[in-house]
Amino acid sequence: MEATQGGSQTPDQEIIKKFTWAAYILFAVSLLTGLTSLFGLILAYLKRKDARGTIYFSHLNWLIKTFWWSVVAFILTAITFFYGIGMIVGIIAGIWYIYRIIKGWIYLVEGKEIA
C-alpha cells in the first residue's frame, strides 16, 4: 500500500513517516554538529525494510546514498586539501549535501517519492 499525496495513510505509514522526518532532521542538524547524520543513517537502515512499498522507502534510500557519497566527498576533500583544491572540493560537497537534504525534504512534504 503506497502513500499518496492527499490520500490517507495507515498507522504504520504514519510511524514510518515520523521516522523519515527524524532521519532528515538528524541529517540537517549534522551541518552544525557533524555527527548526527550517523544516527540518521542508522535510523534509515533500521526502518528501510518497514518502509518498503511506501514513498518513505525512496526517502530512506536517498538519505543512505547521501551519507555514503558524503563520506567519499569528505575523503576526496581531505586528500585534495594538500594540493590546494581541497577547500573548493569541500565547498562543492557541502552545497551538494545541503541540496540533497532540501530536495528530499521538499519531496517528503509534498508526499512524493524521490529518485
In the chain, what are the domain boundaries?
A: 11-110
As a whole number, mean pLDDT of residues 14-38 equals 95
Contact 112, 96 (CB under 8 A): no
pLDDT tops 50 at residue 1: no
63-68 average pLDDT score:
98
Asked whether the beta carbons of 112 and 7 are under 8 A apart, the reply is: no
C-beta of residue 38 within 8 angstroms of C-beta of residue 27: no
Residue 51 CA to residue 111 CA, distance in Å, equals 14
pTM of the model: 0.87
Gyration radius from the chain CA atoms: 15
Residue 87's CB: how many other CB atoms inside 10 A?
Answer: 11
Percentage of the chain modeled with pLDDT above 70? 93
